[in-house]
Chain A
């Protein structure tokens, strides 16, 4: 069993597991941090961005000044932003049988894999994962396509040139494989390959392996996966949460007794407490608005935003913010808000109970009804006429490189009254802000990452007791910025096996058994005998039938009666088939009883001699010698088949067959 690691990003994994003749891809994460190296895509021409100076080498050579621009000491690529794909060369991706998706954030590379590698398999995901994943992809494509950029820079990617560039461009990995965003057509085609599954649904793969999604508690429809055969079990844990937010709680019990547990998608901000961050978010928001400033919240269109809106729903009246407009701007804002209300079965118990009343599970329905929350597909159109300040705007993309957020950064960046609050943990906020520097607006960093932290992980591992843990290398050492925090790493016994991008791991377990079915007719014919108390044995001779990776044992066919009178055709017909197996023997032969038996069967003239290891029984008349030792019997006789067979049967009476 092998694990091919195609992504180096611990929260956006992409691994391929080879298990019992199946090839299973676990998640399909797209590393979008690569976009931080690019200039933002403004919705309307931004004089500031277009007037940034070109970058030149130390020696004054300016041949890259069309591609690279400098802003406050940082260098950016002036081009359509590109993404860092999972490794596509490590394994032939056309051999992947199935892709299992754990949550909507971990499927963003799907179109690259399903549309361009010869993939012909099936993708499995839950309904909310697919619906919300579609919204995220739609938003991404929309953000990038609505501001067509003529320039596509490639000169800087040349290895010899990249060496000369300043950090972080110099250190960017695999730049030659970076790709532009896919199209909506590719998204639709990729999503059409998905088959919907429910939690605890058992899905058979080729009769060899069974996969089952389990609730992971992190997002709507988010799942961990069990990949198992009858005797082996691999758990894939990706993006799980033990906090009570809106999704159904995590199913931990089903992860027990795993041979291998692959652990990815832990919190990216292990030192921040999500509850505290939400509190800080609310108070900073209130403070800014009370002072007449605007608040910008760069966010994804689904996920934490539901929780933030719920907090604000409880908070705004008490904080005196009832008259402040909240805007949610995204091409998929409406869909996201609507979809969140129809997944009752995937929600936590409290929210389910509301649906039973029947009431919408999320209070943002009421915020919309009372006009406190308004949503728009973009800032063009209705928004411009409704727009009132001060206000709070939720919009994407959290990388600040594309989407409506770019416009608001340009619009509000110059005033210190305004605040941008970062809640999404996927991008370093300092890097995200770099192309907007110098900036007067306040920046607050309240990352809300509800995924497992290291304390929760160690508790989980103690509880579910996997034999082996496999995780990205980042989790086996403290974060680089906090190298003294030995508590910020996975601690388990035996130590976790770690992987990095483009590595192949041989997973440490050996398969020893396989399930086989014994047909009732055969089972009836078996004769069990008790060897030791509680342990019985039965010898089985049967015909093996294998179909669709399922093995069945059927009773051996009745021996066909030899049709007498038929003439022998060839001598070789008589040669016995050595494939017919005789049972093994066990036990020992008590000499006295054996001699008695011989006598009873008409042998006389029997002489017994003692030897060092046993006895020799002599049948003088028949010139036959039987050596009997503890673990062996040797019959030496003339070529008299009848005699030999008689003696054999007498010996076998004392032995057990296996």
Chain B
């Protein structure tokens, strides 16, 4: 029995370390290869030894697919390919291929240079890993081998984020990666066609949330920033360089423009400036509005937002600063935070999720006295705000995507177990499909029943179609043919053609039955009576009286002869082939009953 097997190595009832193994029609595909932000030990990467105990990964996996550049989806890639060892193809979109190595290098620097970790992947390994990458276009059907094909769909989560369809023959799986069903200021909404996969593997970060309108959140954000600036305060927005940073920049830029505000906005240097370049060059991946107007005004060329210099932090007067990293755990954002925390006029806005242990997480959970290194205590007097600008689909969006793709079953990953449970019920109720939520290392097996494609000879098909397209429910018509199976080539042809192709002669089986009838009249007269009798009974059949005196019904031949011994008896010879058996046998029984008396 063919089946599809799915095993999450990461992201099973969890957020982070996305890595899902899929076996479909004998092909093995690994979806994403992420790291976990909450761990610094072995648990940081997926347990690749699960894939194969003693074989090489390359022999076992047909390909690896990376959905987008976030580290929880690609952070373990160099470790996997260069340290564990995988030489097969790695598929991702062009923007992901461009940005991924930069984030990996950044991650490596923090881990090795700052935290001093040994046995971590090197810069060279990142480069070697990226050499194995094959870039894909949206909607392009990539033939991984003769049977396995993959296709990318727009996911709208970050620049270059994609959902992937994995297909072998008539069986398919769709993996969403992270996606967003509502267009935002710089990205479009995720979209997929009605591809009816056997299984849809979807993220479920916001499985239970139905978010309020984005406009409200934006208005709220702008109001808070505006108020702080008005009262002369400084606003710190810790962000990661790519993704939400651009979204918020566009938001503030247009607001500043409209309100004619003068307070400076700064962007901390380095990666971010470069990041904006990526957005400019990959503008075809952004939303329609930006694409349409980019010649007149490139949304990623900011007029009001300037590069930040660390000296600016002490400048008097209001300002807004975007600084990395997003969780206030190190770097520039933390430095600025320490400088500004003591002033109640200032404000810090956390636009995303913070992992436990970070300063970001501490202040969000209400802590106002922070112990810094050197036993120094930092008192936080500044205003602390949290605002979710994550680009994940909410419950409504997930349901919408399931409706779009019409899968036969759904599997949830990238979410918390409790919330998944809720969504699982909802999906099962609304769509009447099975929904699964395996934990890491747990395998879900789905039996499939793929239909078998064969070639039918056009002659046979047309003969069948000519008899009318709609099958009659009461009297279904049967198509009869011969399936010739040679190697993996399956052809359905008419029986005649099959015999001919195989050089076999047809064996004709013929029956001739003698029907004795008492009748003194001449044979010729007899034939005429048989003819008119059959003609009146068999209205739908072709009954003919041939010049040689015989009668035919379709291809059945009836001849009248005198009985050799008894002149008062005539013999009707009814002759038919095996293929006409039903009709032939019917005719003999009909004729046996005798002929009606001539009405004349």
Contact = CB atoms under 8 A, between A and B. Distances in A.
Interface residues of A, number: 94
23 contacts: A127-B284, A201-B139, A212-B141, A342-B281, A342-B283, A344-B282, A345-B284, A356-B97, A358-B98, A515-B453, A517-B170, A520-B451, A528-B485, A542-B478, A543-B479, A572-B539, A575-B538, A585-B507, A631-B506, A633-B509, A633-B510, A639-B516, A652-B509
B467 interface: yes
Contact of A586 (B453, B506, B513, B592): B506
Interface stretch (B24-32, B322-330, B574-582): B574-582
A628 to B, nearest CB: 10
Interface in A563-619: 571-572, 574-589
Q: Identify whether the interface residues of A are mostly helix, strand, loop, or mixed.
A: mixed
A618 B483 CA distance: 38
Interface stretch (A47-55, A302-310, A487-495, A531-539): A531-539
Nearest to B592: A639
A552 B589 CA distance: 39
Contacts of A586: 499, 504-507
A377 to B, nearest CB: 12
B467 A584 contact: no
A217 B484 CA distance: 42
A167 B568 CA distance: 98
A115 B94 CA distance: 37
A585 B274 CA distance: 76
Contacts, number: 270
A462 interface: no
Nearest to B554: A578
A635 B511 contact: yes
A638 B449 CA distance: 51
Contacts of A180: none
Contact of A648 (B450, B467, B509, B582): B509
B295 interface: yes
Contacts of A552: 451
A40 B593 CA distance: 97
B507 to A, nearest CB: 4
B465 interface: yes
Contacts of B511: 634-637, 644, 648
A544 B479 contact: yes
A342 B507 contact: no
A551 B456 CA distance: 10
Contact of A634 (B295, B510, B541): B510
Interface string A254-269: 0000000000000000
A197 B496 CA distance: 44
A516 interface: yes
B477 interface: yes
Interface in A502-551: 511-520, 523, 526, 528, 531-532, 534-546, 551
Contact of A513 (B274, B491, B589): B491
Contact of B456 (A198, A199, A513, A651): A513
B455 A514 contact: yes
A578 B507 contact: no
B482 A635 contact: no
A560 to B, nearest CB: 9
Nearest to A627: B510
A279 interface: no
Given A577-B582, A641-B588, 16 more contacts: A198-B139, A212-B141, A356-B98, A515-B456, A528-B485, A531-B504, A539-B483, A544-B464, A545-B471, A578-B554, A579-B477, A581-B579, A584-B495, A634-B512, A636-B511, A636-B513
B458 A360 contact: no
Interface in A441-459: none
A334 interface: yes
Given A201-B141, A586-B507, A338 B294 contact: yes
B138 A198 contact: yes
Contacts of A11: none
A391 interface: no
Interface in B193-236: none
Q: Identify whether the interface residues of B are mostly helix, strand, loop, or mixed.
A: mixed
Nearest to B464: A544
Interface string B457-480: 110010011010101000111111
A534 B486 contact: yes
B486 A535 contact: yes
A658 B482 contact: yes
A641 B537 contact: no
A550 B78 CA distance: 45
Contacts of B142: 200
Nearest to B143: A200
Nearest to A203: B139
B453 to A, nearest CB: 5
A543 B475 CA distance: 11
A355 interface: yes
A202 interface: yes
B514 A639 contact: yes
Contacts of B506: 584-586, 631
Which 7 residue pairs across A and B have the least CB separation, nearest first?
A576-B582, A513-B455, A658-B495, A520-B449, A584-B495, A517-B451, A581-B480
Contact of B476 (A526, A532, A556): A556
Most buried by B among A200, A341, A343, A638: A200
A388 to B, nearest CB: 26
Nearest to A647: B511
B505 A539 contact: no
A97 B484 CA distance: 36
Contacts of B455: 230-231, 513-516
A328 B495 CA distance: 71
A538 B483 contact: yes
A557 interface: yes
Given A544-B471, A575-B540, A637-B514, A511 B458 contact: yes
Contact of A632 (B138, B502, B510): B510
A587 to B, nearest CB: 6
B481 interface: yes
